[in-house]
Structures are given as C-alpha cells and as structure tokens.
Amino acid sequence: MAFTKKRIFNIAFYVLIFAIIFTPLGFKVKVFTNQIFSGNPNTLKQEEQIVLQNYNWKFVDAKENSFNFNDYQGKVVFINFWATYGVRLVLQKCQVYKSYILTIKMM
C-alpha cells in the first residue's frame, strides 16, 4: 500500500472533518467561523425606544433568588436570555462581556 500525495491528502482531510464534527475543537472552529461571517446586531433609534410604564416584574436569578424589577427603576438594565449550546449565543456572550467591560471603564 503506497502512500501517494493524493492518499495522504485524503486521510488528512477526513481526520480534519472528523475533528471538526466530533471534538471540542469543532465547536471552537464553528464559533470562530461564525465570528468572521456574522454581522453586528442592530440598535434601536432613539425615537423607537420606549420607556417602561410598569416595573412590577418578578425575576429569578441563576442561584434561584427572586427579585423584583421595581428595585432597578431608573437604572440601566440589560436583560438577555441565552443558552450555552448555540454557537451564535456563545459568540454573543463574549461580545456582551466585552461591552460590559468597556462600559465599566468609561464610568
């Protein structure tokens, strides 16, 4: 069984495809690829933004502590619902964290 350049290329190609599909490396490749090709989210124009009339919302945090949204009236609040299994969602989490750090530095 002689190893030609074509056969070596085919084996390397199949190993790469296997690694992308079945290993954690594949998830990182998907996140990186999505980061390259995805656009930035849209921001609402000032005149399209609305002010809440009712702040009586009840939330439960990650530690199962409940709190009322009334406590945050008049403050800037960012609420985002996401999961860790989606490639775009992981990328979004990184972008939100970077924005949060920049906001803290500007204060």
- Digit-coded pLDDT (tens) for 88-100: 677 777 777 787 7
Average pLDDT over residues 63-79: 82
Check residues 99 and 83 and name the one with the higher pLDDT. 99
- Give the DSSP H or E segment for 13: helix 5-22
Contact predicate 69/55, CB 8 Å? yes
Residue 40 pLDDT: 66
Contact between 68 and 57 (Cβ < 8 Å): yes
